[in-house]
Every structure is written in C-alpha cells, then in structure tokens.
Structure 1
Amino acid sequence: MEGTLPETPLTGLARHGQSIWLDFIRRDFVEDGRLAAMVKEDALKGVTSNPAIFEQAIGHGAEYEEAVQALLETGSLTAGELYEALAVEDIRQACQVLRPVFDETGGRDGYVSLEVSPYLAHDAKRSLEEARRLWQQVDHPNVMIKIPATEEAIPAIEQAIAEGINVNVTLLFAIGMYEKVLEAYLKGLETRVKAGLPVGHIGSVASFFVSRIDGRIDARIDRRIAAEDPESEALQALRGKVAIANARMAYQHYLSVIASPRWQALAAKGAQTQRLLWASTSTKDKAYRDVLYVEELIGADTVNTLPPRTLEAFRDHGVPEGRLAQNVEAARKILLEAERLGLDLDGVATTLLEEGVAAFEVAFDGLLGAVAARREAVLGERLMRVSLALSGELENAVVAAGKSWSQDGKVRRIWERDASVWTNGPESKWLGWLDVVKNGRAALETYEALGREVKERGYSDVLLLAMGGSSLGPEVLEETFGRVAGGPKLHVLDSTDPQQVASFRKAIDPAKTLFIVSSKSGSTLEPNILFAYFWDQAEKALGRSPSEHFVAVTDPGSSLETLAKERGFAHIFHGNPEIGGRYSVLSAFGLAPAAAAGYDVRSLLDSTQLMIEACDASVPPVTNPGVNLGLALGVAATSFRRDKVTFVASQKIASLGAWLEQLLAESTGKNGTGLIPIDGEPLGTPEVYGDDRVFVELRLGHEPVNPGLKALREAGHPVVTLHLDDVSQIVQAFFVFEFATAVAGSVLGIDPFDQPDVEFSKVETRKLTKAYAETGHLPEETPFAKDGDLAFYADERNREALGNGSAETILKAHFDRVGKNDYIGLLAYIERNKAHIAWEQTVRTELRDQLHVATAAQFGPRFLHSTGQAYKGGPNSGVFLQVTADDAADLPIPGHAYSFGVVKAAQARGDFDVLAARGRRALRVHIAGPLHAGLDRLAQLVTDILKGA
C-alpha cells in the first residue's frame, strides 16, 4: 500500500517507523470522503478525538441537526445519550474507513479513539465501566478507548487491557506517570497470558503531550528573565527545549522496557508494544518552527497525532528525518539543568494534567450544553421553557454560581444521590423523586386498571381525603384538567373545618363516590378523621360495608395500609418511602387520583420524562432548566435578600401556585433561612413593591407577556418565566421546580427534604386533642383584649408589644411592627370558599399597597402542611395575623371523642403556640358571632388603620 503513495513529507514518515494519526473528527469529513482521501494520499493511519474536538463538531456542525431530530423521533433521550449516539456513529464510520489500514498492518494501525467521560478522570471503577460500555457500543476491533492518565485511573487502564480492550492512555506529561502507564499495560497483558487468553490483537498507545510543557516552562523562563534573574543566560538556553527533551527520555524508557526479558516473553506470545503517541504537537510560540514538535520527535514505533493545520504544514514543508533517538545525552542534561534552575518540571506536569482534565470537562460541558440546546429546539413546543430576566448584578452572580456548580460536578452528584451537595446528612434517602417516571411506568397497568374500574362502576365522583403533599398536587391536576367527558369529578378535601367538610359532603353522593384516603405515614390526623367520617357516611348511604368504594395511597407498612387491609379496601397503592410528601405528586400520591379521575397517566409520565431529561446529569448548569431556576432563586435570596418568590400565573394554571408554595416553603424554610413563596397576590405597579422579590411567571400557551410583569422587569425586578405551551406540561413544571428547589436548598446550605417545624405543630395539636379527649374540653384560654365581636390572643412577649386597647389600636400596633423586607401572613382558620378567598385578597392587597411588603394569604389547617414550615422555621421576617371564629355548626367524628371543630381549634392553637415559641410577631383575633359580619369589620379596621398611617 505504501509503495503506491505519492512521495510527500507526510508519506516519508513511514520510512522512519512513525505513523501519522489525525487529531480531528466530524461527520461530514468522514461522509464526504475527505478522511478516506487522506488515508489514500497522506498515509494517514488513525484518528483521535477528544471532548474539545467533538464540541466543535457536534456543537457547531449543521449536519448534526437532522441526526438529532431522527434520534428524538425514535425515542426520548437525554443530552448525554444524544451525544453518545452521535459520537458512537461518527466513530463507527471512521472505523470503517480505517479498517483496511487495520487489516493491512495486522492491527498495528487503523485505530479511531473515543474518550470516556472526562468527568470520570478520577474514578477508576466508573472509568472502567464506561470503557467497557463504549467498547461494546462501537463494536469495531479498531476502536481505542481513551482513558486519562490520572493516578486513580491506572487500575482501570490495567483492567481494560486485561479484558482485551484497546486503550489510548491520554494526558501524559510526566515520565514518572508514563512509567506507571506502561507498567499497567504490561500487567494487563500478563494477566491475559496467565489466563490463557490471546494478546496479539490488543492495541494501545500512550499519548504524551509535548508543546503544552514548553508553553508553561517558557513562560516561567520569560518571567525570570524579565525580572533580571542572574541565571537569565542559562534560562534562555532552555527555551523550547524542555518538552522535546522530556519526550526523548520517555522514549528511552520505552526502548529499555521492550529490550527487557519481561517484554520479550510477552512478545513471544504475539503482544504489540504500547507505542508512544506524541500529542499537543502544534507549536504555541510563533518564534518556533511550526512543525518543530513533529520533526524533532520522529522515531521508530511511535505515533504523532496532528491537528489538521499542523498536518498540512508538515505536508508542505516538513523534513522527515529520524531524530527522536538522537542527542539523548543532551536531552538528559537539559532536564538536569531545568531541575537545577528550579523550573519544576514535575510540578508543571502535575498542573498540566489537572488543567487538561479540567479543560476537557469544560469542553464536555460546552458539548453537552450545545446538544441540550439542539434537543430543546427539536422538541419545540413539547417541552416547557424556563427563561430568566435578571438584573446585571444578579445575572452575573447566577452565572458565577453555575460555573462553580460545573467545576464541582454538582448536577451529576445530585443524580448520584450525593448528600454532600447539601448538608451531608440523610438527603440521599429522599431522592426517589428523581425516578418517578421509571417507577410510574412500572406501575402503569395498575393505574390504568383503576381508571377503567372507576368508569365501569359508574362512579360520579372521586373524593380525595388528604393533606399537604398528598392533596395539593392532585388539586392542581383537577383544577387544570377539569372533568373528563364521561368520567367522575375529582374533589380534594384537605381541611378539618366542619363547614368545609359539610360542603364536600353535600357535593357528592356517597353511594356513587370513590373515596381515596391518602397519607404517606398513615398516621396523619386529618386524613384519618376524614376517613372515619366518610366511611360512616358511605356505610349509611349503601346500607352495607363501603369497602369497595375505598382506596388507600400510602407508604408500605403504614398504619393506613393495615387499616385498608382490615376494612377490605378495593385497592392499596404504595408510595415510595424515599419520596417526601411535597415531592410526591408524580408518584402514586398524584397518579392514583389522576387515574381515578380519568386522566391519561401514560401521557403525563411521557411528558414528565422530557423535563427529567432536560434536567439530567449530563446537562451542564448553563443549559439545565432546573439548575438555572434553582440557582437564580437561591442566589437571589442569599446574596441579594430577594427571598419573596412571587407567583403570577395564567388563570388556567393558577392552582399551580399553591403547590409551589408548599414545595418552596416546606423545603427551604428552616434554620432561620429560606424562600418565602407568595401566591395569589394580585399584581401591582412597581412602586408598591420593595426590593425583596423574585417574580415567577407561569405563562400558558401563546398569551402575551403580562404588562405588569414587563413594567416590573423594566424597573429592575428579576422575573423568571415558566412557559407552558399546553396544560399537559403542568407535570413538567412539577419536576423542574422540584429539581430547582433541591438546587436552591444547596445554595441555602440546608436539607431541603425535612420539615422539623411542621412536626412541632403536629405535636402541639396532639397535646390539645388528647386533653380534650380526657377532659371533654380544650384547656381554657383568656383573651388579653376584647372589642365587640373581636377577641385578641397572644403570648406574653407579643402582648407587651401590642398593648391592651381597642381593636384598632391593637391591630395598628401589630402592623406598625412590619419593617422593610418583612412580609405579612394572614392565617384564616375558616372555610375556604369564594367569599372568604375574596376577603383575604382584599385585605392583603390593602396591606401590600400601603406597607409595600409581601403578603401571604392562607387557610388553616391546610397551610400547616405547607407554608407553615417557613413561617416558623424560616427567616424571622413574618408578621402574622391568625383569624379564628366560632363554628356555625360542628360535625362529630365517628369513633372519636372530639369533633371537627375541636380539631380545627386545636390546630389553630397549636400553630399559634409554635409561632410564639419561635419568637414570631403573631396576633390571633377570634370572631364571635356571625362570621361574615366579623370579617367585614376586621377588613374595615385594616383599611382605616392603613389610611390613617
């Protein structure tokens, strides 16, 4: 073959025993025949690739657009999977072009290199696993798997050789490390020989980097000469010589090893030598000849991998003479002189290795980011979009945080369940939500069977009895999707208010209703007493046991599961114990009610998967929507005191705000820090806001940008937009915010998966209900002031701050305590209906507009399992007005000594006690008599106080 080649400097290298490989790959370069032409005309004998090369090829090559589209049409893929599919195909095609070279040289040449992920450079186990996987995927005998020459990777290199995998060991700078690499190669071969396995087919090269060494050493020399170092002349004499001397001495080690009896024994078995491959051979200093590192390193049994420009330069004017084995003594003296002058070649080599790995990681980030962007473009309206409009300073801080996350590999560490991303506590036990689609698909038949059963049995209604994480997600689904034609109506009851319970009882026919009792622990008070009530109602309506009308959703082994088995429930759906309640909407706690309501669970899971892949470990922070969103929220709160996350939603998806409130508040509001979510607050003009807000727009379809949000952006407020093209993407919003919340928790330095202060409220409530069961009444309490139908309660510290005057003076003193960057919480333990929601909206808007602070409007006890955590455990910036009232009517709870009204009262008092214990500015006002009149009076008092302020 070589005899037919044209005589050029490139083809002349073969006479000196050196093979030329090309350090470049790209699909069109292979497909249009240019690679084959170089094999034919330039004696090209191999191809190498690395993340930087693929980043240029795939990230910027237009020819990959159609390939990405075709791959996504065949199935859902992450950015990492897309990259790998593209890269493997490129490598396969190049292997086919070079296969004749491989065959003609007996497996000595004709190789194409593919690198394991640079993220694994310091992980021998996973490097080996990836080397095996890539070896099998490419499935060509002339592929070489590149593994970087880190200390940790040496065992992986040895084992890969022992398994018969061709290995290109890359990023070699130091002779000492090269010696370890060659030793690993020998040991790998010897392991095979000992096992009676063949070794003749195994190819390997050790990629020794050259010009980068001179670049670093020369810079040191130049600095010392500029500083008039007394050794300037000796230093000048070493410029441009250390890297070549280092390579020559590495080659001498190679020659000594292949002359040894140890190698001869392996050679007798047919083993090939592990050739030195010279990499980084383009000159960085224009003062040097552009083919310096090619000409000086020509020698037998070596390879030089050249980037296209250097290859063209050598073809044009290179001189193919064998110089590598010459001037050995001079090379040794150069290295000794470099040591004498303190140029620290070993330190330089170590630094270059670290920088090389880091540079490949950056290139890999860029590559995967480009692939992720291509993926997003191809998916188009199938994928919800997240965009950030931040002020310059905040934007810079978020970008810097993203770079830090890239360097620390935190996105990958989240997917690896690494608790050190947070507090290094129990966090790894609460990351089951990362696998919700996989688990949901595994149980898909059971969900679909439930949906068919509900329809076949003719249920008119499905009533979900739940609290917090078990109720808010299904509530969003119901309010977003509504009632499916021909299917039942889904109701979500998450209150102990007797009027609320009675309203739901009136809305259904128990004889035609499927009841879903949902509780992770199975011991949550509210679902248990709601179950007791509606079991009794259903039993009366049916005149028999209503067991077939009941379904349980709970974690395995819970008391609810035991109850469900004892009562003969129709179904028991198990949750994942590694998913906390507020992260459970895409697990059985959301999917079982969705299926019962007739929603397409399969479609919901498929849509979720698209967002899971967008937030995948392979997607770097810069293009990862979950990470970007989480960093924006976390950095805004920690560095800019913008901790009031305010949701502004399209009407059709407005219910998402309440779910987001729970997710953010319960996850981040602890240890005196956190994000305070603000949902449902009407949008105002820029002047009514302080500088403590981040606005999150939840926009649906092709709705225009909200003019109010545009004004806020122009006024410098950060605005984050989640753009859903269709309501079905609500599940993507669930996941992206779950991921973002976990990221924000890391920025805040907290465990985002516990909720300590929710538990304290439960404890206080249990004390009070126990006392009622034992005595027949709740412990006595005395208001510190009364004014007509309003009675005021507070702990001693708050009483001292509020005085003992009229309702107006007490309320004014309370609101006078509101300061800059505070927020006001209206906590109303009354029925959540349209009239009462409107009342809260009126009052909160007055407070917001006059005091210029954020307002939270909540209904108890619902919020106790939601924002209550942040109110008690988050920053002490809340000023709370709790509203309680006499119940117009109460409802008994079958099998219990107390009623719903008693439970609600105990919950309100327990809530207030914990607020007080946490040093919160809190006031409780109790309305006696007609509730409507009392609320009207309270609203008028607030208006009068604010107008007179």
Structure 2
Amino acid sequence: MNPVKALEKHGQAIWLDFLARGFIAKGDLKKLIETDGVKGVTSNPSIFEKAIGASDEYDGAIGEALKKGDRSVGDLYETLAVEDIQNAADVLRPVYDKLEHRDGFVSLEVSPYLAIDTKGTLAEAERLWRAVNRENLMIKVPATREGLPAIKQLVSKGISVNVTLLFSQKVYVQVAEAYIAGLEALIASGGDPAHVASVASFFISRIDSAVDAALDDKIAKANDPSEKERLEELKGKVAIANAKLAYQDYKRLFSGDRWAKLEACGAKPQRLLWASTGTKNKAYSDVMYIEELIGQNTVNTVPPATLDAFRDHGEPRNSLEKDLDEARAVIKGLASTGVSLDAITDKLVTEGVQLFADAFDKLLGAVAFKRETVLAGRVGKQTLSLPGELANSVKQHTEAWRSAGKIRKIWSRDESVWTDHDEGKWLGWLHAPSVAKTKLTEYQDFAKWVKSQGFTDAVVLGMGGSSLGPEVIAETFPQQDGFPKLHVLDSTDPAQVRALEASVKLASTLFIVSSKSGGTTEPNVMKAYFFARVTEAIGADQAGRHFVAVTDPGSSMEKVATEQKFAKIFHGDPTIGGRYSVLSPFGLVPAAAAGIDLAKLLDSALAMVRSCGTDVPPQQNPAVQLGLVMGCAGLEGRDKVTITSSKAIADFGAWAEQLIAESTGKEGKGLIPIDGEPLADPSAYGNDRLFIDLRTEAETDAAHEAKLAALEAAGHPVVRIVLKSTEAIGQEFFRFELATAVAGAVLGINPFDQPDVESAKIKTRELTAAFEKSGALPAETPALSTAEADLYTDAGNAAALRKAGADGTVASWLKAHLSRVSAGDYVALLAYIERNAAHIEALQDIRLKVRDHRKVATCAEFGPRFLHSTGQAYKGGPDSGVFLQITADDAADLPVPGQSASFGVIKAAQARGDFDVLTERGRRALRVHLKGDLGAGLKSLGTAIKQALE
C-alpha cells in the first residue's frame, strides 16, 4: 500500500503544507486526496509569497480585480488568498462531509503583524471567517501570550482554530485549556460545538535545529571525549521527545469528567498537529519527523517534497507512544547539559513571529509589485539614481524600517517612530484623501453654488500651508469654464495687496479666508481689508456672501465668520498641521471653488495612498523610499534638497519647499530645500546636493534631461518622478507629505512642530504692540547709511564683517558678508518686497551669480510668505545659512481697517522680527534696506553683489 495512504490505519491524517492557484485548478490537490488520502491543507505567508511572487499565475486575477477599481495591497492579497482558500475548501469538502467534520480542513493565517495584538487578532480572524464563508476553514492564530485569549474567544464564537507556532509543552497545555474553555463558553451560550474543530500545531524541526546548534557549541568547548559523545547522542532527538511527551499531555487533557461533558455535547478534541516536519539537517532521514510521530488522532502537515519522500520510502508504524522513557531521558539529559529547552522554545516563538512577518513583507511586496505593474502609469513612476555610499545607507535603512515595522507604526500613529513626543496627534493627513472622498458631495455642492453665484474670481487669503497648496492648484490647472479664476494672496506688502485688488472685480469675487487657528496675523488683516472693500462695493448686507472661511472648529475665525455672516464655513481637521493640509479642506475648498474635478484629483491621490499604505513594505513603498533617500542624504551632508519641476507643475516646488523646510529644519538639524534654482553643469555644485526632478509624462526637455544625466554621471544623487498628467498632482502631495515625515524620523526630529516660526511671530507682535503704543516702530541704528541703502546687523555680525574688510561702502559689506560663505553653506535672499515677475527675475539674477561664483546652494524668498515655510529651517536648522535680508521703503502704504498699524508697518515688523531671531540664533545675517526707486535699488544691489563676488 502507498505509505502515505497507510497512515490512515494508524489514525494519523496527512495535511499538505502547500497551496497555489494552479495546483488547485489543475486538479493536483484532488489527485493527492484520492491517491494519498491527503485530508487537509495549510497555508502561510511564505507559501503565498512563493505562489504569487514566483509565478505569473496570479497576474490575470490581479488584473481582473483592479479592473473593478483600485484597492490597497492588503485588500488585493486578501482577495487572492480568500479565493484560493475557498477553492481548496471546496475540493476538501467531500472529505469534511465523509469524516463527519473531523477532517478536511483548510487553514488561513491571521496577519503575523497581529501576533502580539489580541484585539487585532480577534477582529481579523472574525473578518476572514466571514469572508471565506466555509465550514471547513481553520483560522491560524499563533500561540503567543496575546494569542491565547484570542483562541478562547474565537472558539467560544464557533470559529475553528489552528494554533500555530507552538514549541513548548507548557504552552501547549495553556493552548488546550484555552480551547476547552472556549468550548465551554460556546455551549453555555447555546452554541453547537459539533462544527468546531482545532489543531495545536507543534513545530518540530526548528527545535532540533536550535538545540543541535547549542549542543555543537558545547561539544566544541568540551575536553572530555565521553562528554562529547554524550552531547552528540542528544542531537536530533529532542524535538521528537518533546512531541511525544506533549502527546501524553494531550491524552490527559482530553479525557476525564470535564472533557466527557463536552464530548457528550458533540465537542471534538483538539488534535496535535506536527508542523515543520521537513528535515533541515541532511544528516537525518528526510522522513524522520513523519516516521517517529505516527499516532492516533494526530495530524502531520508536510511540504510536497517530504510527502513525495515518504510515499517513496516511508515506513508507517505506531511510533508516537513508543520509547517514552527514552524521550523523558532525552529531555532530562538536555537539561543536565545546561541547555534550557524553555529558553529555546521561547526564543523560537519570537523568531517564528518575525519569520512569518518577514515572509508576509515579501508577500505584500510581491503583490505591490504586481499591482504597480498592472496599474502601469496610474501611479507616478519614481526612479532613484544614488551613488554607492548613499545607496548602501538607504538599503540598510530600508531593511531596518521593514524589520521594525515602522510603516505600520506610522499608520497606527505610533510616536516612537519620531521623538515619542506628540507626533501621533498630527497624523490626520494620512487619512485626509479618504475622508475627503466621503465628503465629495459636499465639495461638489459648494462648487455648484460658486458657479451659480457668477463669481469671476476667487481669492485665497492665507499663509504657509493654507496658501501654498491652493497656489499649486491655481498655477497648475487652467481656469475652468463657468468658474472663477483662482488667485492667492499671502503677503502684507502694500503693493502686492493693491496688485491683487486691481486684478479682480470686487463685486464678483469670492474670498476664501484660510486660517487654522484664526489668530494668524496675515489672513486676519487681509480679511479685514477686503471685507471693508467689498462692503464699500456692494453694501454691508451683501458682503458676507462673498466670503467663506476654512478654519478649525471653535477658532476665532469661525466666530468672526459667523458674526459677519460668511456664506460658508468649512472646518479643518485639528490633527492636520497647515503644511500637511492641502488634501484637506484648506486645499480642496479653493480647488472646488475653481471648478477642479475633485473626484479625479482624489482618486489619483488615493492611488498613491494605497501605494504607500501600511501594507506596502519599504522597498516597494515610493514615499518611504523617497523619505529614506532624503533622510539618509541629510545624514551624509547632502542636505540641500534641490527640487526642479517641469513647466506644467512648476509651482509644486514652492509647496514642497515649505513642507520640507518647516518639517525638518530644527534642533540644528534638517534639510534645506532649494526651489527655483535652474540646473547647471555639475561643476556648479558641491557634494551637499540631492536632486529631485518632477515632470509630467507629456513634457520632454532634452537639454534638461542631459543636465540630469550629467549630474548622475558626476555622482550626484538624482530622484526622478514622472506624473501621468497634471491631475496626478494629488499623488505628489501625499508622496511628499509621507516622505517628509519619514525623513524627519531618519533625522531624529519631530516633523510636525515649528518652534522657530513661533519665535518670529512673538517678535513681530512685540514690535507691532510697540507701534500701537507710540505710533512708530522702535528706532534702530544702521551699521552703514548711504544715499542708496542702509545696512543693519547685530553687534557680533558687524564686528565680524568689519574684520573681514567692511568699510564705508555697501559693496565692501556685501563682499565681507559673502566671504563668509564656505563649502556646504547656502545663501538665502530674504526680500520683503512685492512678489512680482520683475522682482523674481532680479532675485534670480542675484542668486545665480552667487551660486556660480561660490558653488553653493541659493534660496530666493519673499517675505512675509517664507516666514511660514523656510523661515523655520533658516532659524532652527543647521547653521549653514548666510542670509541677506532685503527691505525697502513702501512707495505707498495701505491702512488696515480697525487697526493703527498699516500693511507696511506690519510687514516692517515682520522683517525686523525675522532678522532679530536670525541674529539671536547666531546666524550670519545682513539686512539691506533699499531707498528710493525699488527697481533701481535691486539693480544696484545686483551690481554690488557681482562686484563683491569678483
């Protein structure tokens, strides 16, 4: 007789430790049932990983599933696994029926990530039980401390359980007690135990592998030949001895009065199942763990190779209860050597959980790869070109993140990923796109209302995250038919406020006042100004309908909006910081007002969310990979993150700049984002750069590509991101948000606070308060005063500059200031002037002169806009900045209704507050206050800087 089939006569069931779609579909499983008497199937992450990742037999199923709509990697895997388990269960159903529910089971594993999470295990086990919907299913639960109560509760609900990762006799007794207690609870609640079954999966070969290694270590150290022989004799015997003694516990536990009562109600004993029975040591018989563990009412689950081996040369015999005294002697003998079996089995449980988690990572990685392949372009492609040292660092961090499960920790709001402070309170942005999708009708109704009102323009009044996200949308998408043109105002510069006012029709303009706290100076004064102007234009009774507010619940802005009868009030999520808020109402309300198709925008963003989800391992997770590159580059001194964007998405860099700078630049650490600096030849750069290039698929620029290629060839790290279209900008918002949070973790900082932004605000409030009292800002004395400009700095900087050659000319001070620029530094131009095309061009001309002469990174910023973004990094980040603040007299000031401080005064206070904090932090800073015509002054400044660089 077939040796496998013959095991039936000895009361043992053979289960197959293997599962694959084609194996079932082609009838191979059915054949094994018929020829070998196989009575069950077990699965685990490693089995599924090999089935899905190492073949193309699942590609069609994945493609069909994604045709019905995109889904997360975890959902996609579960869909495949559930279908396979259902099919296997159906093939085994005749066995289940024939043996009156005593066999014919298929096992499906709860996520190994939940091995130490009782509640999570229960929830997933119940969900999988319902999803598979087959009586002959067993849910696999590990025999961890947290798994034991889950086993009891699942059985009490009538769910069959395969208890896995069992090594210890002591723990086995606890497992059996949990099963029995679960049956008792089920019967007490009126349930029928007849359909409940369980196996306790005792792992065999892993015990011998661990014990043999410990014995080999002792053999190597032993001097006595007889002691060496005694130790050698124990090898390969402990696992079988351990199992035989566990079987004696089984016989005791499932007998007696307590069990008789349960059996009378139809309960079935929990069989012992021998798992991990493929021999790992080639010196041992390849069928040893089958031949030595054959006994009544047991199960042996074997891989295909072991099944084939036993069919070929196995010898069935009643072996499980033979030589019990020898088994006891083996266990006692092991203890006498000083090797602790308890310590080994405890360690094997921990290692087993990690091994299953590792396999699950590989499995989900394989599914993620298949999903990405099928989607083919729906998720923006990201490629990394990294020099060797950085590539190795990223690889090491990737593995560290994987083994520590840090992505899962992020999604579960675990603050230990960062500084273990309050980061968990600021992770609402992770779910912002999915939350927004549930509120899509609300946004669409708002868009219809905006269109019905006939607004020609919509203006966002906000700062930082409240303005830069909407600005990307305004600059990226063309004006939609029937909807207003979207504008953004984020300045207190009087000329810029006037320019915005001149570009719109007040009587047909919608103003979106965006402020999380409601207490931010800039949106409040901008709102005060435009509310008064709209009131003048259309009357006090109609002004409110031209305003909507986006603010956190209960803010002072909400109170004002209610009092002034704003048309709409949208609430932000208090758990989302401003710079992470673009996919929340702060970005979506302006987008809806502009008629942007939010359904497409959010679907695109959600595709990236799924690509970066909790179930996507770091290697396949695009945002995590980008974040690890950014963080590792920062640790290696490549902290100047240079962002270039193609024309269609050119404004994206300004948003990313504030996200990266404000999130990472603190505690003397951080990344300095460089936006708007066009690419040059490799010779223009030091070794402190990381380049991130974004473009849309439709845009090609051969010259730009050639420069990127040259940078790669020169050993600079380059990240390329290609968007399918401009509508995919939503993906990039999420990619960069998560990447920045990851980079913050690598750098060891809290990426969700902004302590140095607050310090500048405090200084500004002090100065404006002084103005309110005296009618003037406190007097200040210039270090140098000429007809064209006044120069200001603190005593320490002034002394250093004079020592470096600063004398009676502006050019000498600039020369001395720029002489302090060293390799690895950056130069930032901080201009508190109107942000317009001419002034942008003037600053660009200056910054490129500096870059090309000093070979350092440069920033060109406009205040007060940058205070809420890069200002944080400039004050709190690494002390590598050399700052030139540029201020000027306002040609014409502008009053703020209800305040004595005008726009010009507020801007001046902001500039001075900003500069004071820079100098207090010991930064190398010089302020140039231009006099007279601003255009002429900027031109003269450019000339002076050119001379200073020569």
TM-score (normalised: structure 2): 0.98
CA contact (8 A) 1:722 1:733 kept: no
Partner in structure 2 of residue 3 of structure 1:
none
Structure 2 residue 611 is matched with structure 1 residue 617: no
Letter in 1 for 2:727: S
Partner in structure 2 of residue 510 of structure 1:
506
Letter in 2 for 1:737: F
For residues 66 and 95 of structure 1, what CA distance do their matches in structure 2 show?
Answer: 22
For residues 119 and 463 of structure 2, what CA distance do their matches in structure 1 show?
Answer: 44
Deviations 1:14-61 (A, max 9, x none): 000000000000011111111111111111100000110011112223
How far did 1:485 drift? 2.9
Partner in structure 1 of residue 847 of structure 2:
844
CA contact (8 A) 1:278 1:305 kept: yes
For residues 226 and 873 of structure 1, what CA distance do their matches in structure 2 show?
Answer: 57
Q: Which moved more, 1:764-773 or 1:540-549?
A: 540-549
How far did 1:486 drift? 3.4
Deviations 1:350-398 (A, max 9, x none): 2222111111111100000110111111111211122211111111111
What SS does the corresponding residue of 1:706 show, helix, strand or coil?
Answer: helix
| Residue from 17, 22, 26 that aligns with 2:20 | 26
Partner in structure 2 of residue 252 of structure 1:
248
How far did 1:76 drift? 2.4
CA contact (8 A) 1:498 1:900 kept: yes
How far did 1:226 drift? 4.0
Q: Which moved more, 1:297-306 or 1:699-708?
A: 699-708
What SS does the corresponding residue of 2:193 show, helix, strand or coil?
Answer: coil
Partner in structure 2 of residue 879 of structure 1:
882
Structure 2 residue 902 is matched with structure 1 residue 906: no
How far did 1:654 drift? 1.3
| Residue from 150, 156, 160 that aligns with 1:156 | 150
For residues 199 and 535 of structure 1, what CA distance do their matches in structure 2 show?
Answer: 72
Partner in structure 2 of residue 100 of structure 1:
94
Partner in structure 1 of residue 693 of structure 2:
697
Q: How does 1:586-597 map to 2 (within 5 A)?
A: 586-597=583-594
For structure 1, the 5+ residue unaligned runs are 1-6
Partner in structure 2 of residue 530 of structure 1:
526
What SS does the corresponding residue of 2:780 show, helix, strand or coil?
Answer: coil
For residues 402 and 802 of structure 1, what CA distance do their matches in structure 2 show?
Answer: 45
For residues 195 and 483 of structure 1, what CA distance do their matches in structure 2 show?
Answer: 64
How far did 1:749 drift? 1.3
Structure 2 residue 69 is matched with structure 1 residue 75: yes
Partner in structure 2 of residue 288 of structure 1:
284
Deviations 1:212-252 (A, max 9, x none): 11122223333433445421111121221111111111111
What SS does the corresponding residue of 1:44 show, helix, strand or coil?
Answer: coil
For structure 2, the 5+ residue unaligned runs are none
Letter in 2 for 1:633: M
Structure 2 residue 85 is matched with structure 1 residue 91: yes
Partner in structure 2 of residue 190 of structure 1:
184
Partner in structure 2 of residue 863 of structure 1:
866
What SS does the corresponding residue of 2:234 show, helix, strand or coil?
Answer: coil
Partner in structure 1 of residue 745 of structure 2:
746
Q: Which moved more, 1:82-91 or 1:234-243?
A: 234-243
How far did 1:541 drift? 2.0
For residues 574 and 865 of structure 1, what CA distance do their matches in structure 2 show?
Answer: 21
What SS does the corresponding residue of 2:158 show, helix, strand or coil?
Answer: coil
Partner in structure 1 of residue 46 of structure 2:
52
For residues 939 and 501 of structure 1, what CA distance do their matches in structure 2 show?
Answer: 26
Partner in structure 1 of residue 462 of structure 2:
466
Partner in structure 1 of residue 450 of structure 2:
454
User: What is the count of residue pairs matched by the alignment?
Assistant: 940
Letter in 1 for 2:730: V
Deviations 1:291-339 (A, max 9, x none): 1111111110100001001101111111111111111111111111111
Q: Which moved more, 1:203-212 or 1:345-354?
A: 345-354
Q: Which moved more, 1:862-871 or 1:693-702?
A: 693-702
For residues 377 and 98 of structure 1, what CA distance do their matches in structure 2 show?
Answer: 34
For residues 681 and 905 of structure 2, what CA distance do their matches in structure 1 show?
Answer: 42
Q: How does 1:413-812 map to 2 (within 5 A)?
A: 413-545=409-541, 546-638=543-635, 640-702=636-698, 703=700, 706-803=705-802, 805=807, 806-812=809-815
For residues 497 and 450 of structure 1, what CA distance do their matches in structure 2 show?
Answer: 31
For residues 290 and 438 of structure 1, what CA distance do their matches in structure 2 show?
Answer: 52
What SS does the corresponding residue of 1:382 show, helix, strand or coil?
Answer: coil
For residues 354 and 893 of structure 2, what CA distance do their matches in structure 1 show?
Answer: 67
CA contact (8 A) 1:51 1:360 kept: yes
Structure 2 residue 398 is matched with structure 1 residue 395: no
Q: Which moved more, 1:857-866 or 1:262-271?
A: 262-271
Partner in structure 2 of residue 922 of structure 1:
925
How far did 1:264 drift? 2.1
| Residue from 363, 384, 401 that aligns with 2:359 | 363
What is the RMSD of the two structures over their aligned residues, measured on CA atoms? 1.3
| Residue from 266, 272, 277 that aligns with 1:270 | 266
Deviations 1:86-138 (A, max 9, x none): 10110011111111111111111000000000111111121111111111111
Deviations 1:910-929 (A, max 9, x none): 11011111111110010011
| Residue from 801, 816, 820 that aligns with 2:823 | 820
Letter in 2 for 1:538: V
How far did 1:532 drift? 1.4
Letter in 1 for 2:426: W
Partner in structure 1 of residue 275 of structure 2:
279
For residues 465 and 850 of structure 1, what CA distance do their matches in structure 2 show?
Answer: 39
Letter in 1 for 2:942: A
Deviations 1:557-594 (A, max 9, x none): 11111111111111111111111000111111111110
What SS does the corresponding residue of 1:464 show, helix, strand or coil?
Answer: strand
TM-score (normalised: structure 1): 0.98
CA contact (8 A) 1:642 1:694 kept: yes
For residues 941 and 563 of structure 2, what CA distance do their matches in structure 1 show?
Answer: 48
For residues 108 and 449 of structure 1, what CA distance do their matches in structure 2 show?
Answer: 58
What SS does the corresponding residue of 2:376 show, helix, strand or coil?
Answer: helix
For residues 125 and 512 of structure 1, what CA distance do their matches in structure 2 show?
Answer: 55
For residues 223 and 498 of structure 2, what CA distance do their matches in structure 1 show?
Answer: 91
For residues 218 and 763 of structure 1, what CA distance do their matches in structure 2 show?
Answer: 67
Structure 2 residue 174 is matched with structure 1 residue 180: yes
For residues 665 and 205 of structure 2, what CA distance do their matches in structure 1 show?
Answer: 53
Deviations 1:450-470 (A, max 9, x none): 211222222111111111110
Letter in 2 for 1:135: W
Deviations 1:500-556 (A, max 9, x none): 111111101101111111111111111111111111222222244311111111111
Deviations 1:745-801 (A, max 9, x none): 111111111111111111111111122122111111110112331110011111111
Letter in 1 for 2:720: T
What SS does the corresponding residue of 2:815 show, helix, strand or coil?
Answer: helix
Letter in 1 for 2:922: G
